[in-house]
Amino acid sequence: MTETAEQCQSPELIAHILATNIGNQVQIYFKNKELTVPLEPSDGGAAQTTTIPCNSFNAMIDDTMINDWGLVVDSRLQLSESEWRRIGLEKHWNHDQAIVNNPSKRRQLEVTAEREEPIQEDRPEEVSFDHLDPVPGDSPIITEWKDSEGLSKPSIPLSRPYVWFHAARTEGVTETHGAERIEIGDISAVRPIRE
């Protein structure tokens, strides 16, 4: 069977691509072929959102960090103005009541994937690394792994990476207690764009 561009990749492979293509353009595909985008800035509570159809968008991988000894993979994406506008975020930032404190970050989105350590009683008796099959052994998601039990690579699978960002705020809002964080969508695949 021929692999289609948006065919679902494993979370490990997505994280590997994000970690090894810093500074490169990629196409990000979404699991449900839709995005959740804000309609208005946050006034201290959760911003009103809507769902729009979107199979994918193009972005540059600005940075990828492997944190907490390999338990968390965080990436930062930089979108072009045209892509930002196409997926509906331009209207949000240009809303009459939006206060944008840092224009240099206006078109940045974040990606997060996490390894959730099981409770001691729930740990399997046999360790499996099957989830790492599509990833080369020298991948940063493996080499950056540090484990208290001495395992040389992560036995805990990553969750599906998701894209999120902090919504703009209305004037006078200084604390939102995280309510302005909007999860845009789950990633199904990432494809490097070869020029």
DSSP state of 78: E
Contact 154, 147 (CB under 8 A): yes
Does residue 123 lie within any of the structural domains? no
Residue 4 has pLDDT above 60, yes or no: no
Does residue 16 lie within any of the structural domains? yes
Provide the pLDDT for residue 18. Answer: 98
Does residue 180 lie within any of the structural domains? yes
Q: Which of 17-26, 46-55, 86-95, 140-149 has the highest mean pLDDT?
A: 17-26
Does residue 182 lie within any of the structural domains? yes
Over the stretch 151-195, which tens digit does the pLDDT of each residue have?
A: 788 888 999 999 998 877 777 666 655 567 889 999 999 999 986
* pTM for the predicted model, two decimal places: 0.86
Contact 182, 38 (CB under 8 A): yes
Mean pLDDT over all residues of the chain? 84
Does residue 6 lie within any of the structural domains? no
Does residue 1 lie within any of the structural domains? no
Provide the pLDDT for residue 1. Answer: 33
Does residue 185 lie within any of the structural domains? yes
Neighbours of 134 (CB within 10 A): 12
Provide the pLDDT for residue 189. Answer: 97
Contact 83, 106 (CB under 8 A): no
Does residue 145 lie within any of the structural domains? yes
Over the stretch 105-158, which tens digit does the pLDDT of each residue have?
A: 568 999 999 998 755 555 656 778 899 999 999 999 999 888 766 778 888 899
Domains of the chain: total: 1
Whole domain around residue 94: which residue ranges? 11-115+128-192
DSSP state of 124: -
53 HSE (CA, 13 A, CB side)? 0
Tokens 């979107």, residue located? 54
Q: What is the DSSP string of 8-32?
A: PPPHHHHHHHHHH-TTSEEEEEETT
Provide the pLDDT for residue 124. Answer: 58
Provide the pLDDT for residue 3. Answer: 44
